Amino acid sequence: MTSNDQSDGAKGLQDRGAAALSAAATTAQQALDSARGTAHQAAESAKDIVSQAHLDEVGAKAASAAANLYRGGRDRLAANEELSQAAEQLSGAIRQNPLVAVGIAFSAGLLLALLARG
């Protein structure tokens, strides 16, 4: 196997890893957007509850709402077939070429940090 063949193989792995990472980032962004909307609704509901109930009742209702939100988000992510396939592909690409995976992870972290700041 020549160094050119190895370079092409690494490039293919990098492309697959980048595609899987992109799919995972898109799905994560959609889940985050959905969670923001749900959190906003929960905050509005909490305002209504506070004006009508005692603090003990509010705490119990808030804990119940938080548990429901957590379970809903976890179930959405677990049920997403596309995310599962992307995770499997990414895991295989990492095992085959860990140095490329480190570079992709660094780039993705930098991108997410820049997006979070903006």
* CB neighbour list of residue 9: distance below 8 Å, 6 or more residues apart: none
How confident is the prediction for the chain on average, in pLDDT?
76
Tokens representing 22 are: 């992109």
Question: Which pTM value belongs to this model?
Answer: 0.35
Whole-number pLDDT of residue 113:
92
The two three-digit tokens of residue 18, written as one number: 């980048």
For the segment 77-110, what is each residue's pLDDT rounded down to a tens digit?
A: 766 777 777 778 878 878 898 888 788 789 999 9
pLDDT at position 3 over 70: no
Structure tokens at 17: 């890893």
Residue 109, judged by CB atoms within 10 A of its CB (0-12, 13-18, 19+), counts as exposed
- Is 65:46 a contact under the CB 8 Å cutoff? yes
Each residue's pLDDT tens digit, 17-64: 777 777 777 877 777 777 777 777 777 776 766 566 566 776 778 788
CB 61 within 8 A of CB 49: yes
Residues in contact with 20: Cβ distance below 8 Å, sequence separation at least 6, in sequence order: 86, 87, 89, 90, 93
* Residue of 112 and 73 predicted with greater confidence: 112
What pLDDT does 9 receive?
64
